[in-house]
Amino acid sequence: MATLKEAAQAYEPPQTLNIADLDKVPVNIEIKDGEGKDRDGEVFKYKYATIDGKDYRIAGSILGGIKAILGKIPNLEFVAVIKQGMGMSTRYQVIQWNAATATEQVKG
C-alpha cells in the first residue's frame, strides 16, 4: 500500500486536453458531452473524445471544419487540427491528414 506522500507525488489531476494537441485525429471516434465551469463559476458545455485514456476537448468550429471536408472527401479517415491564438481569440483550422505529408514533415 502506498503512503500519503507517494500517492500525492503520483497524483495527476483530471484534465481535458485539446484535440489540436494530437498529430492526427480519427474521424470515427466517439464524442461525449462534458460540462465545466468558467472563471466566474458559470457552467458551460463542451464536446470531447477519449483517446488512449485522455480526454480531448473538441470546439464547435472543429466539428464544422470536419463537416466541410467530409462534404468533399466522404471516406476521410483522419484530420489534423491547427490551433492559432489563445483564450477567446483561439482559431482552429482542420485539414485532411495525409501519411505522406506527415512523414515529410518529420524528415524536414
Residue 6: alpha-carbon gap to chain centroid: 31
Higher pLDDT, 27 or 86: 27
In a domain, 4, yes or no: no
Phi, psi of 102 (to 5 degrees): -60, -40
State residue 13's pLDDT score.
83
Average pLDDT value for the chain: 89
Region 7-30: mean pLDDT is 91
Q: Give the burial class of 60: count Cβ atoms within 10 A of its Cβ; 0-12 exposed, 13-18 middle, 19 or more buried.
A: exposed
Domain membership of residue 101 as a residue range: 13-107
Residue 3 lies in a domain: no
Q: What separation in angstroms does the CA of 67 have from each of 15, 81, 104?
A: 27, 13, 26
The answer on pLDDT for 44 being more than 70 is yes
pLDDT for 51 beyond 90: yes
At 91-106, the pLDDT tens digits run 999 999 987 656 555 4
Mean pLDDT of the 36-45 span: 90
Does residue 85 form part of some domain? yes
Q: Name the domain count of the chain.
A: 1
For residue 1, tell me if it sits in a domain.
Answer: no
For residue range 76-91, list pLDDT tens digits in order: 999 999 999 988 789 9
Is residue 70 assigned to a domain? yes
40 pLDDT exceeds 80?
A: yes
- Does residue 47 belong to any structural domain of this protein? yes
Asked whether residue 5 is assigned to any structural domain, the reply reads no
In a domain, 79, yes or no: yes
Percent of the chain scoring above 90 in pLDDT? 72
pTM: 0.75
